[in-house]
Amino acid sequence: MPEGPEIRRAADCVHRQLAGRRLDDAWFAFPELAGQAASLVGRRVTAVDSWGKALLIRFDDGRVLYSHNQLYGVWKLHAADREPDTNRSLRVRLVTQGRAASLYSASDVSLWDEGRIGDHPFLSRLGPDLLTHGVTVGQARARLLEPRFRRRGLGGLLLDQSLFAGIGNYLRAEILFFAGLHFKVRAGDLEEGALTRLAACILAVTRQAYEQAGVTNRADWAAADRTLGATRRRWRFAVFEREGLPCHACGTAIERVRVASRRLYLCPCCQPAG
């Protein structure tokens, strides 16, 4: 499933397609939304952003269209007079100045007033989005030390969307590796330097994944792997999905374990348990 950086990149694409323009047409497959489609015609799209794995389209009248792709949903951008080549089921279509953004296969779509979007049943459970809400290293440090988070092992905690929205399985493994921390370590037990390093890695790894289309590896390590003929799936990560391969930093074989019912990859030397 896509993680926060992938959803934010999708939001950026929809933003470029629609933002700053007024809708010429709107269509919804859902009966509860179909009656509101006409009221969106003529409204200007002010921004498209994301919160965790949800995509938010904002209009100039203060309304926000919420959508969550879940497992199979996908936005397709196309000319308004040309249907995308797909067998998926159309759920939403927004048209402006000959351009269209169409959402296929998603089932979680709703329209909200801006002032109430935080009350959405899904969004209300999320922590701040690392790419949208301007989280600083200091704020990330403070959040990790909140009573509800500080005594939990990092391997499970980082997947908790109430901590930070958008961190999924590959980001968790890469963050812990670059922070040099074992998955059993608790934020409340970290010394000040290690805590700051963790907070900085949470932000930096997520930002890099967003800016480099899912690549979290160091540039020199990735280049070395490519020289050896590695596929993108292998060279894009430092540890994720590299079980049995040598750690880029120390040469120790990368291990795979299960933590919080998800696979986690780590270097036992660079991320010692004790």
User: Where exactly are the structural domains of the chain?
Assistant: 4-125, 137-266
In this prediction, residue 70 carries a pLDDT of 85
State the average pLDDT for the chain.
97
**DSSP string across 225-273:** HHHTT--HHHHT-SSTT-TTSBPTTT-PBPEEEEETTEEEEE-TTTS--
**Which helix (DSSP H) or strand (DSSP E) does residue 91 occupy?**
strand 90-96
Give mean pLDDT, residues 38-46.
Answer: 98
Phi-psi region of 52 (alpha: psi -120 to 50; beta: other; left: phi over 0): left
Pairing assessment for the beta strands 63-68 and 262-266 based on DSSP bridges: unpaired
104 Cβ neighbours under 8 A, 6+ residues apart = 73, 74, 75, 76, 84, 86, 88, 89, 90, 91
Q: Is the Cα torsion angle 27, 7, 259, 135 positive or negative in sign? A: negative
Give mean pLDDT, residues 101-129.
Answer: 96
In this prediction, residue 155 carries a pLDDT of 98
pLDDT, tens digit, for every residue of 209-237?
999 999 999 999 999 999 999 999 999 99
* Max CA pair span of the chain: 61
pLDDT, tens digit, for every residue of 174-212?
999 999 999 999 999 999 999 999 999 999 999 999 999
Cα separation values, 18 from 58, 79, 111, Å: 10, 12, 17
Cα separation values, 182 from 89, 110, 265, Å: 43, 40, 10
pLDDT, tens digit, for every residue of 65-79?
999 998 889 999 999
- CATH class of the 137-266 domain in this structure: mainly alpha
What share of the chain has pLDDT > 90, as a percent? 97
Give mean pLDDT, residues 140-144.
Answer: 98
Question: Are 4-125 and 137-266 equal in CATH topology?
Answer: no
Q: How confident is the model at residue 147 (pLDDT cuts 50, 70, 90)?
A: very high
Give mean pLDDT, residues 150-164.
Answer: 98
In this prediction, residue 68 carries a pLDDT of 95
Q: How confident is the model at residue 2 (pLDDT cuts 50, 70, 90)?
A: confident
pLDDT, tens digit, for every residue of 94-112?
999 999 999 999 999 999 9
Q: What is the pTM of this model?
A: 0.95
What are the residue numbers of the active site? Answer: 2-3, 53, 262
- Residue 162: pLDDT over 90: yes
Give mean pLDDT, residues 25-48.
Answer: 97
Is 254 within 8 Å of 247 (Cβ atoms)? yes
Give mean pLDDT, residues 35-42.
Answer: 98
CATH code at 4-125: 3.20.190.10
In this prediction, residue 274 carries a pLDDT of 74
- Residue 1: pLDDT over 90: no
